[in-house]
Amino acid sequence: MKSVQIVALRQDRKRLLEHLQDSGLVHIKKTEKCKKGFNKIDMTSQTQIFERNVTLTEQALKILDGQVPEKKGMLSAFAGRRAIDPDEIGVIASNAGDVINVCNRLCELNKICADNAAEQIRIKTTLTQLEPWRNLDIPLNQGDTATTAVFIGSIQREFSDITLSQAFAEYAPNLEFEFEIVYSQNMLTCFVLMAPIAQKELAEGTLRDLGFARPMNPSNLTPIKESEKLVKKCEELERQTEQAKKEIASFADKRSAIKDTQDYFRIRADKYNVISELEHSKNVFVISGYVPEEDAEKLEQLCTRVAVCHLEFADADEEEAPIKLKNNRFSRPAQGIVNMYSAPSHGDIDPTPLLAFFFYFFFGMMFSDAGYGLLMVIAIGIVIKIFKPDEKMYYSLKLFQYCGVSTFFWGLIFGSIFGDAPAVLYNYFTGADITMAQILPWPTLDPQKDALMLMIISIAFGLVHILVGMGCKFYVCWKHKDYAGALFDTGLWMLMLIGFAVLAAGMATNHIVMMIGAGIAVACAVGLVLTQGRNKKGFGKVIGGVASLYDITGYISDLLSYSRLLALGLTTGVMAQVFNMLSTMFGTSWIGFIFLIIVFLVGHAINIGLNALGSYVHTMRLQYVEMFGKFYEGGGEEFKPFSLNSKYIKIQEEKSK
């Protein structure tokens, strides 16, 4: 990695930054302090405008998708961004104002729909409240007359004329009143009470004691008239909403332009964020960053072609420089798995090649069905060919395609092709009795019958995996001239584990091999006791050395974790066989044949979904916990060049995969 400093004229800033963004060659370094005579330009306000426009276009697209969903195929998620000519960016920029106006209009129309919907809910609630009062022929807000106090309201109890009169007489024997019950059902009584104006306070107190409540938001219209008015208003709101929805739908042909504009503002926001980090003087500006050594000449040619500038290259400080992983076609798809955990630090080695091999190997052993593996390889190949996905998606698909190759070969070893589908289908159509072992011309391992053997094989692969991780630790220590750490902290443990493996093999073969293994293990144990407390003082050296032997329990636990290789492989095969058995339950009639097709397809689709996910997760666990835990620290900064961070479009001159 090279550090680079580009000094260019301020008048060339726009052109130079655009070309750098298109090329994706430079990782821009953020600087805290400026050199004397230089300062930074605050672009926060401009950046916020661009980001608001990005948010606005996202809202507009969401509104369009809600009213007129975009027609997409099931596999459209794999499709790459639309390639455009560099000159088309200028066209998008010139139309951006009109597109933003469209987005604002879409948001206005959506707000109309939302407000109308809320208002309709309020109207329906009011209509429900008015329903008990439909027979009342005076307004609900009817006031008092010169001689009479009028009370219109309800009590949360059911009364008849007699029981309500009794209640008034009980609470206020001296009250003179007349009343009319308008509604009395479902624990609710609506009525009108009239009393002499002189007894208004007495009537109010009595009604309060009974739990009287006046109607909410009473109108000066009769309930029936108010209901009719509200119904008409609700119908008018519905009509307005339908018009707004139709207008929203009329903007469906603007969806592509909105997507392009969103990317345009996203790109501009990124550019202005970078400008905020650059050092500026009156006439020049300075870009500080990092570039891969192999791209330095290309960067120099690009800069000198588009601007008057000066470039200075230097060897990057290993502690500060970002990390860019370089791997071949076999390992490259696994880089995403490494970066998902953490980019390697400068003190680490790149674990991608080792991770790639073991990831493909273990995934295949867990998924372990030749039919599933072949299906993965073919299906992914077709998707890549048709949809031409972007780089990130491309390598994610290639990861699973390579896993599919491994799955295919492990399926042949386990004798599993859609479970035991060939044998089941042969028996179904011919009535003969045949097994997979009779069909396949090579010897196979049956996870159900040879479970103990496969458990031993799984543990053996786990031992190899752990030893590889420890070997990486040995190499890292040796590289950093920590010879004691390499030999004593790692080398002795590696030899001890090998000794235990030889001991176990000897127990199954002959006494001499067992004694050799025991001798290696004991010698390494003595070595650990003598060396693991070397950094302590006095009696602590002995305690530290003896206590270090407890770590053997951790290694045993790690090795047992690899039993999941057998468990997942067994699960895939058994579930496939169960679905095969279920598919033949209805016999050879035409109904049975239809049932066979449905259950076979659905059952194996479920099996693929569940066990592919399980294999992926558990394979990652074996890499992250069992192998990475032995040597990998991570914590490095990933190389992230200043580039077109677009979602829907890409420039045709973009670097190919």
310 pLDDT above the threshold of 70: yes
29 pLDDT above the threshold of 50: yes
Residue 147 C-beta-side C-alpha neighbours within 13 Å: 2
What length is written for the chain?
657
CB-CB contact of 227 with 130 (8 Å): yes
Query: How confident is residue 18, by pLDDT bands cut at 50, 70 and 90?
Result: confident
The string of pLDDT tens digits covering residues 582-641 is 998 888 888 989 999 999 999 999 999 999 999 999 999 999 999 998 888 888 888 899
550 pLDDT above the threshold of 90: no
- Position of tokens 């009719």? 228
Q: What is the DSSP letter of 417?
A: B
- Residue 655 has a pLDDT of 43
**In the chain, where the domains are located:** 2-87+261-315, 141-214, 332-432+451-631
For residue 99, which of 305, 260, 243 has the smallest C-alpha distance? 260
Q: Which sign, positive or negative, has the C-alpha torsion 135, 138, 141, 142?
A: negative
538 pLDDT above the threshold of 70: no
- Residue 656 has a pLDDT of 39
- Residue 539 has a pLDDT of 63
CB-CB contact of 99 with 265 (8 Å): no
Could you tell me the two tokens for 596?
């066979």
Query: How confident is residue 139, by pLDDT bands cut at 50, 70 and 90?
Result: very high
The string of pLDDT tens digits covering residues 317-352 is 877 888 888 999 999 999 999 998 888 988 889 999
Report how far residue 41's alpha carbon sits from residue 276's, in angstroms, rounded to the nearest whole number: 5
3-state secondary structure of 184: strand
**Cβ contacts of 266 within 8 Å, gap of 6 or more:** 50, 54, 645, 646, 647
- pTM for the whole structure: 0.81
Query: How confident is residue 654, by pLDDT bands cut at 50, 70 and 90?
Result: very low
DSSP for 568-583, written as a single string: HHHHHHHHHHHHHHHH
17 pLDDT above the threshold of 60: yes
- Residue 468 has a pLDDT of 94
The string of pLDDT tens digits covering residues 160-206 is 999 999 999 999 999 999 999 999 998 999 999 999 999 999 999 99
- Residue 33 has a pLDDT of 81
Could you tell me the two tokens for 81?
């961004």
Report how far residue 408's alpha carbon sits from residue 324's, in angstroms, rounded to the nearest whole number: 32
- Average pLDDT of the residues in 396-417: 95
Report how far residue 401's alpha carbon sits from residue 360's, in angstroms, rounded to the nearest whole number: 9
For residue 291, which of 258, 262, 316 has the smallest C-alpha distance? 316
Give the right CATH number for 141-214 from 3.40.50.2300, 3.30.360.10, 3.10.20.30, 3.30.70.2750.
3.30.70.2750
**Max alpha carbon distance in the chain (Å)?**
121
- Average pLDDT of the residues in 494-500: 91
Percent of the chain with pLDDT over 90: 55
49 pLDDT above the threshold of 90: yes
Beta bridge partners of 188: 185
Task: Report residue 39: phi and psi, to 5°.
Answer: -150, 175
- Residue 507 has a pLDDT of 84
Report how far residue 50's alpha carbon sits from residue 262's, in angstroms, rounded to the nearest whole number: 9
Terminal C-alpha separation, the chain: 21
- Average pLDDT of the residues in 205-218: 91
